[in-house]
Amino acid sequence: ATDFGIEKALKELGVKDINEGTSTGSKNFSNGEVIESYSPVDGKLIGKVKTTTKEDYDKVLDAATSAFQTWRTMPAPQRGEIVRQFGDKLREKKEALGKLVSYEMGKSYQEGLGEVQEMIDICDFAVGLSRQLHGLTMHSERPGHRMYEQYHPLGVVGIISAFNFPVAVWAWNTALAWVCGDVCIWKPSEKTPMCGIACQNIAAEVFKANDLPEGISNLIIGDHRVGEMMTKDTRIPLISATGSTRMGKIVAQEVAGRLGKSLLELGGNNAIIVTPDADIKMTVIGAVFGAVGTAGQRCTSTRRLIIHESMYDKVKDAVVAAYNQLKIGNPLDENNHVGPVIDKDAVKMYQDALERVVDEGGKVIVGGEVLSGEGFESGCYVRPAIAEAQPDYKIVQHETFAPVLYLLKYSGDVHNALEIQNGVKQGLSSAIMTNNLREAEAFLSVQGSDCGIANVNIGTSGAEIGGAFGGEKETGGGRESGSDAWKVYMRRQTNTINYTADLPLAQGIKFDL
């Protein structure tokens, strides 16, 4: 049996037979307990890594704080040059890293490559940005005065990421933070530590080749206990955390308690509205890729299809027919559409959700099985499911991080569909399928979708890096990646300069001595 080039990729990325974890630049050290990373693809042990102890963490923090002193004084376009080199290194390692992502996380090799491509894209974006960290100039109300604003680096940025985008989320944050003059400490998910080490190795090589201080890029390893070292640490002005709403609520309170800043990218419960004017073919492609891509474990995965009653049977039949074509199996084999979910806990979540939807009165019309036998030894492969449900079922209101798609029916006009769509606590991604201009504009209007992302004639998943990414309500309100998301990684300062020999006061106040 082929290993699809995994051994070779592990070697190329420097993660074969290691027992490391915490690192500051290229220096590895860690003294904590061991985490074993098993692949959901074949159930085999990929490698062992050591977690970060409090002493290790303090060393990392010292290295980061000291590196910041140097890094912040380097002109931003020169920092951009370093990020350009980092993007080039990622181009060299794209296949290997894409494979590791697929093998450790379980998404398809194509999606693994896509994730690395996102890293490359954000590097390119950040390079251009390094010459565009603009503030505004304003006209002062006082004669002989000039007023403007500028953006300075913040300091140490803490990045906490989820298992499902084990490399891209780090890059979205770190590429921007670096050109902004910050240094980063990253705690990847404890479910995908090898991806973290591989990325850190790539970054460390670039910093070393440029003779820059260790400590601009840092990695810490472990679960929430290691994450908490950062959220409680007043030396870290910004925590960017991606993961579940449950985690986000804890992190938000912890960071707010010390008046730090947090950037939160949390769970979604994304819907596609299918109106009587929808193109069925486009709807099916958008919905099926959205629901089963990454085995339903994207924050932007399509979880709900809100279909007009006049189209319901037609759309249902077309989506069911598409699900029947899906090939489930090793995600490194490009003939397969759907790989495993991350672990057996995720399988249990999938099963529980389907049980609950039936308990609440719904009907599972496709899927529900956990696959066994040859090729499925890891026990993490499930058949993507479709269930008919009602919008107010508790389980439909909840984000089930697995390939379960709920079909919901609406009647009347698009506002009724919007009420269902917006009637959940999450607010990440949303979409409408329609060729009707009035419906499309209503969906995008002030009375329309309440999500951070609202798409017309595109599914809910697969955002581009050029736009600001994030969502409202329990999704946490953070924005990262494109547009002006960089501003959160900097501190804004307003400067007023008096170039006269008088000292007029603002608001015309007289104060004579």
Residue 223 within binding range of ligand NAD, rule CB under 6 A: yes
In the bound complex, what is the minimum distance in angstroms from residue 164's beta carbon to ligand NAD?
A: 5
* R_g of the chain, CA atoms, integer Å: 24
| 179 Cβ neighbours under 8 A, 6+ residues apart | 76, 79, 80, 83, 126, 127, 129, 130, 133, 486
Helices (H), 449-496: none
Residue 20 within binding range of ligand NAD, rule CB under 6 A: no
Q: Report the residue number, 99 or 298, with the smaller CB distance to ligand NAD.
A: 298
DSSP secondary-structure letter at 382? B
In the bound complex, what is the minimum distance in angstroms from residue 6's beta carbon to ligand NAD?
A: 22
In the bound complex, what is the minimum distance in angstroms from residue 121's beta carbon to ligand NAD?
A: 16
- Reading the block at residue 262, the tokens are 């947090």
Q: Which stretch binds ligand NAD (CB under 6 A): 48-56, 155-163, 177-185, 365-373?
A: 155-163
Place of tokens 């050109």: 179
Residue 268 within binding range of ligand NAD, rule CB under 6 A: yes
Q: Which of 103, 151, 401, 406 binds ligand NAD (CB under 6 A)?
A: 401
- Reading the block at residue 454, the tokens are 């609202």
Residue 164 within binding range of ligand NAD, rule CB under 6 A: yes
Residue 163 within binding range of ligand NAD, rule CB under 6 A: yes
In the bound complex, what is the minimum distance in angstroms from residue 385's beta carbon to ligand NAD?
A: 18
Q: Which of 250, 280, 349, 358 binds ligand NAD (CB under 6 A)?
A: 250
Residue 249 within binding range of ligand NAD, rule CB under 6 A: no
In the bound complex, what is the minimum distance in angstroms from residue 119's beta carbon to ligand NAD?
A: 15
In the bound complex, what is the minimum distance in angstroms from residue 175's beta carbon to ligand NAD?
A: 16
- Reading the block at residue 250, the tokens are 């804890």
CA 120 to chain centre: 15
Residue 238 within binding range of ligand NAD, rule CB under 6 A: no
Number of residues forming the site for ligand NAD (CB under 6 A): 29
Burial of 336 (0-12, 13-18, 19+ CB in 10 A): middle
In the bound complex, what is the minimum distance in angstroms from residue 463's beta carbon to ligand NAD?
A: 9
In the bound complex, what is the minimum distance in angstroms from residue 33's beta carbon to ligand NAD?
A: 14
Q: Report the residue number, 163 or 443, with the smaller CB distance to ligand NAD.
A: 163
Under a CB-based contact definition with an 8 Å cutoff, are residues 213 and 71 in contact? yes
Nearest to 489 by CA among 512, 468, 462, 459: 468
End-to-end Cα distance, the chain: 90
Catalytic annotation on 265?
Answer: yes
- Reading the block at residue 416, the tokens are 């009724």
Q: Which of 112, 267, 293, 448 binds ligand NAD (CB under 6 A)?
A: 267
Q: What pairing do the DSSP bridges indicate for beta strands 426-427 and 472-473?
A: antiparallel
DSSP secondary-structure letter at 81? H
Residues 178-197 that bind ligand NAD (CB under 6 A): 187, 189-190
CA angle 414, 419, 423 (to 5 degrees): 150
Residue 165 within binding range of ligand NAD, rule CB under 6 A: yes
- Tell me the three state secondary structure of residue 244: coil
241 phi/psi in degrees, rounded to 5: -125, 130
Q: Report the residue number, 280 or 349, with the smaller CB distance to ligand NAD.
A: 349
Concatenating the DSSP letter of every residue in 84-122 gives HHHHHHHHHTHHHHHHHHHHHH---HHHHHHHHHHHHHH
What does the alpha-carbon distance between residue 433 and residue 320 come to, in Å, rounded to a whole number? Answer: 18
- Reading the block at residue 228, the tokens are 């908490």
Q: Report the residue number, 97 or 133, with the smaller CB distance to ligand NAD.
A: 97
Q: Which of 26, 66, 140, 244 binds ligand NAD (CB under 6 A)?
A: 244
In the bound complex, what is the minimum distance in angstroms from residue 19's beta carbon to ligand NAD?
A: 20
Under a CB-based contact definition with an 8 Å cutoff, are residues 420 and 271 in contact? yes
Residue 299 within binding range of ligand NAD, rule CB under 6 A: yes
Q: Report the residue number, 147 or 250, with the smaller CB distance to ligand NAD.
A: 250
Residue 224 within binding range of ligand NAD, rule CB under 6 A: yes
Q: Which of 41, 76, 162, 408 binds ligand NAD (CB under 6 A)?
A: 162
DSSP secondary-structure letter at 428? S
Q: Which of 28, 330, 449, 475 binds ligand NAD (CB under 6 A)?
A: 475
Q: Report the residue number, 152 or 258, with the smaller CB distance to ligand NAD.
A: 258
Q: Report the residue number, 275 or 429, with the smaller CB distance to ligand NAD.
A: 429
Q: Which stretch binds ligand NAD (CB under 6 A): 23-31, 34-42, 238-246, 403-411?
A: 238-246
- Reading the block at residue 27, the tokens are 């220096």
- The active-site residue out of 12, 265, 439, 474 is 265
Concatenating the DSSP letter of every residue in 151-216 gives EEE-SEEEEE--SSSTTHHHHHHHHHHHHTT-EEEEE--TT-HHHHHHHHHHHHHHHHHTTPPTTS
- Just list the catalytic residues: 265
Interface residue list for ligand NAD (CB under 6 A): 160-165, 187, 189-190, 223-224, 227-228, 231, 242-244, 247, 250-251, 265-268, 299, 399, 401, 428, 475
